[in-house]
A = this chain, B = another copy of it.
Amino acid sequence: MAVIAEVRELGRHVGEEVTVRGWIQTMRSHGRIGFVVLRDGSGIVQAVVGQKDVSPRIWDRFQALTQESSVLLTGLVREDARAPGGYELTVRDLVLVGRSEDYPIQPKEHGVDFLLDRRHLWLRSSQQRAVLRVRNEVEQAIHDFFYARDFVRIDTPILTGAIGEAATTLFEVDYFEQKAYLAQTGQLYVEAAAAAFGKVYCFGPTFRAEKSKTRRHLTEFWMVEPEVAWNDSADNMRLQEQFVAYIVERALERCRNDLAVLERDTTALERVTPPFPRLDYSDAVKMLQERGSEVEWGEDLGGADETMVSESYDRPVFVYNYPGAAKAFYMKENPADPRTVLCDDLLAPEGVGEIIGGSQREDDYDRLLARIREEKLPEEAYGWYLDLRRYGTFPHAGFGLGLERTVAWICGRAHIRETIPFPRMLYRLYP
């Protein structure tokens, strides 16, 4: 019996007979010779079937193959520089495992709704696989970065009382006899953990019931949120640039093939090295106004403004110290200009826009309570959060990086819906 091999390891089996297991991507015949391309998840390999080399039964089986049929192919491994992957299989035996009829996704162009309805199958397409391999690499890079720096991972709850960013975009859950909400962020919880562990982070799904249908919005998306005791806003930005540079470097180093499949120009990514430029919010507003934006001092930057700023730099750029009124209640007032808070957004280049929001946190009990009241937030839900300022308060800062936006940027995809295996959007819950 031939040894079973994954396509990725065929190089170790040249001159041997192996069995590969997978799905038929394409098949064609030239008279008495047939070619199939098989995908097994680890790679793709071309297999050649000669009518004279196999029994009529095997030849007939080959002729009847269809796209996405699952098969076992047994044959000799040969080196072939022209073949995708560099190896070719000369088939001796073919076993059909699962027939596939009328596979809906064809090499032609399909509409995106058609594809999203069939996301469970669309995942098998080469570009989708490349994007999700980059996502996989970025996720491992996230964990490796923080693990190597002695951060403790803290899994924050999804089911919460009303606490988070904005009450208007909460998903409500029936929690036995209570009302619960899906977490918009883990930040408030990692702040508590920072007093126990010093350096912590969370990584998991977060939820926003936003009625936005843009290329940058999902209702369910993943965020990584580090929080560091004793860091101020400047430390925070330094950590962000090191972190982003590390992620991008890992993708460049280990996902070359995937980025090639996506036809990503990697020169823009190779420039992503610290330090990143830092642009004061007021200077950003001035620059935008000069270029025709109608933004006024005091407002948050919109998507178009962010794009305009990010297009002016060849690497990610920090915009820092926004007006407090435009930002969340937990950000620390800037002692040098109390109209502003000690925060930053990191805008990715090539028009991508915001991938990180970060800030030093308000560590003064009275100021924080005043902000909670100003925002008319339910004070009782924030009692435990205020406790962190009551029992040994401490300067601390952190940020949230949106995984899907980051992967979209690295992959050069315009829409983040392709960067998550099963996107959830307004009115889309299936599959």
A168 contacts partner chain B, Cβ-Cβ < 8 Å = no
Q: Which residues of B contact A381 (CB under 8 A)?
A: 430
A150 to B43, CA, bound (A): 11
Q: Which residues of B contact A211 (CB under 8 A)?
A: 176
A422 contacts partner chain B, Cβ-Cβ < 8 Å = yes
Q: Which residues of B contact A388 (CB under 8 A)?
A: 120
Structural contact, B176 and A392, CB atoms closer than 8 A: no
The 0/1 profile, CB within 8 Å of B marked 1, for residues 12-56 of chain A is 000000000111100000000000000011100000000000000
A377 contacts partner chain B, Cβ-Cβ < 8 Å = no
8 Å CB interface, A193-220 against B: 193-199, 204-205, 207, 209, 211, 219-220
A192-B40 contact, Cβ under 8 Å, with A70-B392, A391-B103:
no
A194 to B220, CA, bound (A): 22
8 Å CB interface, A97-150 against B: 97-101, 103, 118-121, 123-124, 128-129, 132-133, 135-136, 139-140, 143, 147, 150
Structural contact, A176 and B100, CB atoms closer than 8 A: no
Q: Which residues of B contact A393 (CB under 8 A)?
A: 70, 97-98
8 Å CB interface, A151-178 against B: 152-161, 171-178
A177 to B211, CA, bound (A): 12
Q: Which residues of B contact A413 (CB under 8 A)?
A: none
A367 contacts partner chain B, Cβ-Cβ < 8 Å = no
A292 to B200, CA, bound (A): 49
8 Å CB interface, A356-406 against B: 363, 381, 384-385, 387-395
A85 contacts partner chain B, Cβ-Cβ < 8 Å = no
Q: Which residues of B contact A99 (CB under 8 A)?
A: 392
A42 to B180, CA, bound (A): 34
A189 contacts partner chain B, Cβ-Cβ < 8 Å = yes
Which residue of A41, A121, A207 has the most chain B CB atoms within 10 A of its CB atom? Answer: A41
Q: Which residues of B contact A40 (CB under 8 A)?
A: 198, 229
Structural contact, A156 and B103, CB atoms closer than 8 A: no
Partner of A68, one of B176, B391, B426: B391
A92 contacts partner chain B, Cβ-Cβ < 8 Å = no
Q: Which residues of B contact A180 (CB under 8 A)?
A: 429
Structural contact, A196 and B155, CB atoms closer than 8 A: no
A411 contacts partner chain B, Cβ-Cβ < 8 Å = no
Structural contact, A426 and B176, CB atoms closer than 8 A: yes
The 0/1 profile, CB within 8 Å of B marked 1, for residues 246-286 of chain A is 00000000000000000000000000000000000000000
A21-B431 contact, Cβ under 8 Å, with A41-B197, A152-B132, A153-B140:
no
A130 to B161, CA, bound (A): 27
Minimum Cβ distance to chain B for residue A370 (Å): 18
Structural contact, A171 and B171, CB atoms closer than 8 A: no
Q: Which residues of B contact A172 (CB under 8 A)?
A: 173-174
Contacts A/B (CB < 8 Å), 10 sampled: A22-B198, A41-B199, A98-B393, A99-B392, A123-B196, A133-B197, A158-B207, A159-B219, A175-B429, A176-B427
Known: A21-B229, A41-B194. 4 other contacts (CB 8 A): A139-B143, A158-B158, A158-B207, A160-B429
Could you tell me which A residues sit within 8 Å of B by CB distance?
6, 8, 21-24, 40-42, 68-70, 97-101, 103, 118-121, 123-124, 128-129, 132-133, 135-136, 139-140, 143, 147, 150, 152-161, 171-178, 180, 182, 189, 192-199, 204-205, 207, 209, 211, 219-220, 222, 229-230, 363, 381, 384-385, 387-395, 420-422, 424, 426-427, 429-431
